[in-house]
Amino acid sequence: MTIPTSPETPDTLRQVDLTKMGEGRYKATNRRGGVLPIGSGGDPDFTPVELLLAAIAGCSAIDVDLITGKRAEATSFDVRAEGNKIRDEHGNRMVDLKVTFEVRFPEGEDGDRAREVLPRSIAQSRDRLCTVSRTVQVGGPVEYVEA
């Protein structure tokens, strides 16, 4: 791929390259060599909107798991991200985004401490830590250019 990179420093730059694989199918590749298929909805691949929801859920799950996991390892850890895709005067977009955590911890003092910090860890992820949801909440322009 010959698309030039941005002038940001390597510490701040995040980058994903996308290559067409077929009709309505693409492959995203990160700098570490990870590959993720993306589809338009006519196949089992995640759509871009599903990837946005997965990114929000995944980002917050990592935050919450790191914080609560210092007290006790969760016995079950499930997160659901959902929202409604609409089209209005602002164009296509997602509204009513919601992230639901269902996390269980073992009985005992360590589990009690993890349960106690769970609400605060979810709030910290929402309000400060999760780069993905913070970007959606705060907003900002996305520049589109032709290389």
What pLDDT is recorded for position 144?
95
Range of the domain at 104: 47-138
Q: Does residue 7 fall inside a structural domain?
A: no
Q: Does residue 98 fall inside a structural domain?
A: yes
**Domain check: are 62 and 111 in the same one?**
yes
Q: For residue 104, what is the domain's CATH number?
A: 3.30.300.20
Q: What is the DSSP string of the chain?
A: --PPPPSS-TTT---EEEEEEETTEEEEEETT--EEEEESSSSSSBPHHHHHHHHHHHHHHHHHHHHHHTT---SEEEEEEEEEEEEETTEEEEEEEEEEEEEE--SSHHHHHHHHHHHHHHHHIIIII-HHHHHHHH---------
Predicted confidence (pLDDT) per residue in 76-107, tens digit: 999 999 999 999 999 999 999 999 999 999 99
Q: Does residue 74 fall inside a structural domain?
A: yes
**Domain check: are 35 and 56 in the same one?**
no
Predicted confidence (pLDDT) per residue in 61-79, tens digit: 999 999 999 999 999 999 9
What pLDDT is recorded for position 10?
76
**Domain check: are 29 and 95 in the same one?**
no
Percent of the chain with pLDDT over 70: 94
Q: What is the mean pLDDT of residues 28-37?
A: 96
